[in-house]
Amino acid sequence: MHMADALISPAVGGAMWAATGALTAYSAKKLKAELDERKVPLMGVLGAFIFSAQMINFSIPGTGSSGHIGGGMILAILLGPYAAFLTIASVVAVQALFFADGGLLALGCNIFNMGFFPCFIAYPLIYKKIVGDRPTQGRILLGSTLSAVLGLQMGAFSVVLETVFSRVSELPFATFVLLMQPIHLAIGFVEGLITSAVVGFVWKARPEILELAADAKPIGNLSVKKVLVGLGMATALTAGLLSWFASTHPDGLEWSMFKTSGKEELKAPERGVHAAAESLQQTTAILPDYDFKKPAKPSEPETPAEPENKTDGAAPVVSAGASVAGLVGAAITLVLVGLLGVALRMRRASN
Amino acid sequence: MSTIESALLDMGGLDILAAQNTPIHRRDPRAKVLTALAFIVTVVSFSKYDLSGLLPLFLYPVVLVALGNLPPRYLLGKLLLASPFALIIGVFNPLLDRTILLRIGPVGLSGGWISFVSILLRFLLTVSAALILISTTGFNAVCLALTRLKVPHVLTVQLMLLYRYIFVLAEEASRMVRAWSLRAVKSRRMSPKVFSSLVGQLLLRAVDRAQRIHMAMLSRGFDGEIRLIRPLRFGMADALFVLAWTAFFVLARACNLPQLLGQAVLGITR
């Protein structure tokens, strides 16, 4: 469920980066305050452990397919919320950099989806409440399964929201939710059972490891509120700023492949607000007219336009002259870029 | 070869590429991190129906691959293997968005197909930017750059430790899986039960290892910070690198270069 750069808008990506950045700074500060530097090597090694565990496939009973674990809940249970969040952040970052899972802009989204929900929601509010200070096999089973399922559900839902808000994909909200949630319910259930088995194994073999994590103080009410308020502000601020910068194309309806250049930039601020408002309205309205497109204004290129092309009233009309220029230009650009690459390579080789 | 070992080889491969000495590799890591971020923000800020506007941006990966002496085929292979999430979601666009936006002669192209191709292009551009960053900079240098760019210290130290121990622990995991597969001749896939105890065992070894590492680090004077000998110097060339690329990104974003080029060419030939 890695979110991809290709699917998000700068506003969503930036907002999630801000949220993740705030959480990272907060967790780092908390960790420093706990003065538990013993955790730093442990975090690194456990991160590497999750990484290795993800590479091992196991068969999913009754389906004939195989899967691997995510491991977010295991880290939260073993390390406590703050250290686990940082560890998950670094695991996701390495995946983005080395295996091209997601991307750098989507990294904020991915860390948030896979880190925030298990560490700051599922762990303190579900696992801690169920397992408490006196773990038993039954409680561990119930607590880890429930928290893994719910953590993954929230993560999947957040993927849906990020995708819908970005509006690069055409999938309507309701369809996407119906697609994502059931799949992740199944995944979450398997993940939960595995998590409880691993945690149970550790608890039986070396109970003191679990106590290490329990030492980390659970988040009090006050700081949760602070975090959420801070998060909300950071998110809103970045989203606002970025959508101001980003939306020269206000509603994503404008056909701009062959537009003549340079006209929209001057009106950017007003369009930004407009766009933000409209995207809010669009996404809250959820369904029916999502794929209904207003005709974009016909572009008025400098080259003389042939009016007889305006046959179809519902579709935006692009003048033939402009589209030919666009296609020719696109082809030349690609050839030029390719040639440049070859030339640079040959020059290097000859050196 | 098992998936674990091939994944390790893969990661090692990128690090080997990063050990080269080219004009790109010599740039300060901070310059490369900032430029890559500017690039990605530029790419995703394009309208989803904009195809030709994205094309000039291919200049960035192409130039870096050429000057950085990276093997294009290897990178392309990694791109193709990369997470197909974007494609799975993107493929719905042509089904859902059927408004005809462009007519080339008798053929009408719907908005959905155009935005689908746009998703593909974005995917290629953004993912290759991330791979290029690592293979021209190296992971530790990226972490160092992040530290200098005020990312919390705990996180970057932890990233470096993580990266170091991935190799150790993944080898351990792969030995355990091999031992299992030698003994479990008939079953080709691990049952969840076996998997849990194997992973639990791996976890215990990891924790023990972490404790030994921590003691070893303490006895060598570890105080929570990792210091690197390599000095970072942000020189004129680095500033130029960032500025020139950023200027290019802004230019490509502000005006549709292929469109202008096409018009110019058609104007001459007419």
Rounded CA separation A97/A105 (Å): 11
The string of DSSP letters for A223-237 reads: HHHHHHHHHHHHHHH
Percent of chain A with pLDDT over 90: 11
Domain that holds residue A345: 307-350
- Per the CB < 8 Å rule, is B127 touching A103? yes
Query: pTM for this structure?
Result: 0.75
If asked whether residues A38 and A164 sit together in one domain, one would say yes
Please report which helix (H) or strand (E) contains residue B217, including its range. Answer: helix B192-219
Higher pLDDT, A252 or A211: A211
Chain A interface, best mutation among B158, B193, B198, B219, by max A CB count within 10 A? B158
Beta strands A66-67 and A58-59 are: antiparallel
Two tokens, residue B213: 């590492």
Higher pLDDT, A162 or A32: A162
pLDDT of residue A306: 40
Two tokens, residue A326: 């666009």
pLDDT of residue A220: 41
Which residue in the set B78, B162, B172 is minimally distant from A47, CB to CB?
B162
Mean pLDDT score, A226-237 = 62
If asked whether residues A224 and A316 sit together in one domain, one would say no
The dihedral built from the CA positions of residue B213, B215, B218 and B224, taken in this order, carries a sign that is positive
Minimum distance, in Å, between the CA of residue A125 and any CA atom of chain B:
25
Residue A169: list chain B partners with CB under 8 A.
89-90, 92-93, 119
Residue of A nearest to B192 (CA): A58
**Domain for residue A316, yes or no?**
yes
Minimum distance, in Å, between the CA of residue B234 and any CA atom of chain A:
23
Split into its structural domains, chain A has a count of: 2
Contact criterion met (CB below 8 Å) for A329 and B263: yes
Minimum distance, in Å, between the CA of residue A321 and any CA atom of chain B:
9
If asked whether residues A49 and A154 sit together in one domain, one would say yes
Q: Over 80: is that where the pLDDT of A59 sits?
A: no
Residue B108, Ramachandran bin (φ over 0: left; ψ between -120 and 50: alpha; else beta): beta
Higher pLDDT, B156 or A213: B156
Contact criterion met (CB below 8 Å) for B226 and A44: no
Rounded CA separation A70/A51 (Å): 9
**Domain for residue A27, yes or no?**
yes
Rounded CA separation B45/B39 (Å): 10
**Domain for residue A160, yes or no?**
yes
**Domain for residue A291, yes or no?**
no
Give how far Cα A257 sits from Cα of A298, A306, B93, B126, Å.
12, 18, 17, 20
pLDDT of residue A101: 77
Mean pLDDT score, A98-108 = 82
Q: Over 60: is that where the pLDDT of A241 sits?
A: no
Question: What's the pLDDT band for A242 if we cut at 50, 70, 90?
Answer: low
Residue of A247, A255, A81, A333 whose CA lies nearest to B103:
A255
Q: Which of A209, A243, A277 is the last residue of a domain?
A: A243
Rounded CA separation A277/A272 (Å): 9
If asked whether residues A221 and A144 sit together in one domain, one would say yes
Q: Which residues are registered as beta bridge partners of A59?
A: A66
If asked whether residues A147 and A226 sit together in one domain, one would say yes
- Per the CB < 8 Å rule, is B200 touching A197? yes
Minimum distance, in Å, between the CA of residue B227 and any CA atom of chain A:
15
Tens-place pLDDT, residues A276-328: 444 444 444 333 333 333 344 444 344 443 444 433 434 444 455 556 776 77
Residue A291: list chain B partners with CB under 8 A.
96-99
Residue A52: list chain B partners with CB under 8 A.
4, 166, 169-170, 172-173, 202
The torsion angles phi and psi of A302, rounded to 5 degrees, stand at -70, -35
pLDDT of residue A89: 92
Chain A interface, best mutation among B5, B26, B48, B81, by max A CB count within 10 A? B48
Q: Chain-wide mean pLDDT for chain A? A: 71
Rounded CA separation A238/A299 (Å): 32
Two tokens, residue A56: 């091992």
pLDDT of residue A238: 59
Question: What's the pLDDT band for A208 if we cut at 50, 70, 90?
Answer: confident
**Domain for residue A253, yes or no?**
no
pLDDT of residue B224: 66
If asked whether residues A216 and A320 sit together in one domain, one would say no
Rounded CA separation B3/B10 (Å): 10
**Domain for residue A275, yes or no?**
no
Percent of chain B with pLDDT over 90: 15
Q: Which of A223, A243, A263 is the last residue of a domain?
A: A243
Rounded CA separation A267/A274 (Å): 11
Q: Which of A205, A223, A243 is the last residue of a domain?
A: A243
Higher pLDDT, A128 or A274: A128
Residue of A300, A168, A51 whose CA lies nearest to B202:
A51
Residue B184: list chain A partners with CB under 8 A.
none
CATH number at residue A238: 1.10.1760.20
Return the C-alpha torsion angle A227, A47, A107, A124, nearest 10. -30
Beta strands B107-110 and A66-67 are: unpaired
Higher pLDDT, B226 or A340: A340
Q: Over 60: is that where the pLDDT of B26 sits?
A: yes
Minimum distance, in Å, between the CA of residue B144 and any CA atom of chain A:
14
If asked whether residues A220 and A318 sit together in one domain, one would say no
Higher pLDDT, A56 or A302: A56
Residue of A nearest to B56 (CA): A333
Minimum distance, in Å, between the CA of residue B45 and any CA atom of chain A:
5
Which residue in the set B55, B166, B200 is minimally distant from A48, CB to CB?
B166
Q: Over 80: is that where the pLDDT of B227 sits?
A: no
**Domain for residue A29, yes or no?**
yes
Residue A42: list chain B partners with CB under 8 A.
207, 210-211, 214
Mean pLDDT score, A12-38 = 83
Tell me how crowded residue A113 is: count the other CB atoms within 10 A of its CB: 29
If asked whether residues A335 and A238 sit together in one domain, one would say no
Question: What's the pLDDT band for A330 if we cut at 50, 70, 90?
Answer: confident
The string of DSSP letters for A10-70 reads: HHHHHHHHHHHHHHHHHHHHHHHHHT-TTHHHHHHHHHHHHHHHHH--EEPTTTS-EE---
SS percent in chain B: helix, strand, coil, step 5? 75, 5, 20
Residue A16: list chain B partners with CB under 8 A.
none
Minimum distance, in Å, between the CA of residue A119 and any CA atom of chain B:
16
- In eight-state DSSP terms, residue B103 is E
pLDDT of residue A109: 92
If asked whether residues A194 and A107 sit together in one domain, one would say yes
Tell me how crowded residue A249 is: count the other CB atoms within 10 A of its CB: 21
Contact criterion met (CB below 8 Å) for A30 and A242: no
Least confident of A238-242, B59-63, B164-168: A238-242
Chain B interface, best mutation among A23, A50, A52, by max B CB count within 10 A? A52
Mean pLDDT score, B215-230 = 76
Mean pLDDT score, A234-257 = 45
If asked whether residues A208 and A328 sit together in one domain, one would say no
**Domain for residue A172, yes or no?**
yes
pLDDT of residue B244: 94
Angle at which helices A72-79 and A81-98 cross, to 10°: 140
If asked whether residues A92 and A187 sit together in one domain, one would say yes
Match 């990484």 to its residue by tokens: A51
Higher pLDDT, B230 or A243: B230
Q: Over 50: is that where the pLDDT of A252 sits?
A: no
Question: What's the pLDDT band for A224 if we cut at 50, 70, 90?
Answer: low
If asked whether residues A344 and A202 sit together in one domain, one would say no
Identify the three-state secondary structure at position A296: coil
Contact criterion met (CB below 8 Å) for B11 and B170: no
- Per the CB < 8 Å rule, is B162 touching A198? no
The dihedral built from the CA positions of residue A260, A265, A271 and A276, taken in this order, carries a sign that is positive
Match 């007419």 to its residue by tokens: B270
* A147: Cβ contacts below 8 Å, ≥ 6 apart: A73, A76, A118, A122, A123, A126, A127, A130, A192
